[in-house]
Structure 1
Amino acid sequence: MSVKPLRVAVIVASTREGRFGPTVAAWFAGVARGRAGLDIEIVDLADEDTVTKQLGVADAFVVVTPEYNHSYPAPLKAVIDAHRDEWLVKPVGFVSYGGLSGGLRAVEHLRPVFAELHAVTVRETVSFHGGRACFGADGLPADPSACVPAAVRLLDQLAWWAHTLRDARETRPYAAA
């Protein structure tokens, strides 16, 4: 069993001016940093110069995505497509935000994309219906009673998959097509 900390990249998927993603990512990273055995790094797609290195060292990913036009942001798709090997046989979790759907349509569009790259998406997600309205001026959820337990469940699944897949990758090569 692996004892070294899991490196988790929390990805801010939106690059639009005035975006809300950094607030959501900072909140989630704060929850994740409260867990032993996780090394959390926020990867902001708006900072293109560091993305490749940050993705390459990660054992697992959490994509923080808005929903744009019933799907996810184009810059996220570009990064996914440009970094095939970085996603290979690693787990991906999702934190989404948006209007009535809370970004869940974006998440459902991302699942088959990551499956094609041989990444494993965890079932549990955190979604904020209404986005900004769910957060106070302090950058924290106004009502943490639902989102914190959801984040804990997501992290439980992500850590299980990350340990399992990292151990497997270290033991034997994966037969990717």
Structure 2
Amino acid sequence: MELERPLRLEVIVGSVRTHRFAPVVADWFVERAGARDEFDTTVLDLADTSLPQDLSAGPEADAFAERIGRADAFVVVTSEYNHGYPAALKTALDTVKYEWRAKPIGFVAYGGMSGGLRSVEQLRQVVAELHMVSLREAVSFHQARKHFDPADGAANDAAERMLTQLAWWGDALRTQRAHVPYPG
């Protein structure tokens, strides 16, 4: 039965810059999500995704929309650039509309002193407009390039709490979408 399968979790890597730190943080998170039976976890790296900047339709946008539509839940791994999130991530969010709706999203952020939290706060506004459920729990790495520690107890605890909430919301929303189409 469709509702008994693991939740399809897409981990979206938002930074596309050369020499980015994103893969280090994404790998750390995917390892934690992959250890959970509730999820079938895949990575959607925007550096490997050619989406048109003008948001026009086409094969790339269609394939992206289909992939987003198949997912049950999302986690965005994002950096913070100039107090905001990466442009490639905004393009990805704007490329599709209905495929995001009534699905939960969590955030793993990294950056300088703010640990990427300013980018997360901006993203919460955008995903609300997309009718997504933004999880309160988030993971943040301050001064990530200098001080990233995969064994960081606070980060691991935050990731586990976020994944537990993501599983709850993912299951609840998937069940509801299967019974009643989202009205938005």
Task: Give the TM-score taking structure 2 as reference length.
Answer: 0.89
In the alignment, what sits opposite 1:114?
127
Alpha-carbon distance in 2 for matches of 1:54, 1:108: 25
User: Any unmatched runs of 5+ in structure 1?
Assistant: 136-140
User: Any unmatched runs of 5+ in structure 2?
Assistant: 50-59
In the alignment, what sits opposite 1:175?
183
Instruction: Give CA deviations for 1:12-44 in whole Å, capped at 9, x if unaligned.
Output: 000011111111111100001111121000110
Amino acid at match of 1:29: V
What pairs with 1:3-42 in structure 2 (closer than 5 Å)? 3-42=4-43
Contact map agreement 1:97 1:129 (CA 8 A) in 2: yes
Contact map agreement 1:43 1:54 (CA 8 A) in 2: no
Alpha-carbon distance in 2 for matches of 1:98, 1:53: 31
- Identical aligned pairs, as a percentage? 52
What pairs with 1:27-176 in structure 2 (closer than 5 Å)? 27-48=28-49, 49=60, 51-135=64-148, 141-176=149-184
1:154 positional shift: 0.4
In the alignment, what sits opposite 2:3?
2
In the alignment, what sits opposite 1:138?
none
1:134 positional shift: 2.8
Instruction: Give CA deviations for 1:55-90 in whole Å, capped at 9, x if unaligned.
Output: 221100000000011010011001101111221110
SS in 1 for 2:163: helix
Greater mean alpha carbon deviation, residues 149-158 or residues 49-58: 49-58
Amino acid at match of 2:22: G
SS in 1 for 2:43: strand
Contact map agreement 2:28 2:150 (CA 8 A) in 1: no
Amino acid at match of 1:22: P
Number of equivalences: 171
In the alignment, what sits opposite 2:56?
none
Contact map agreement 1:14 1:73 (CA 8 A) in 2: yes
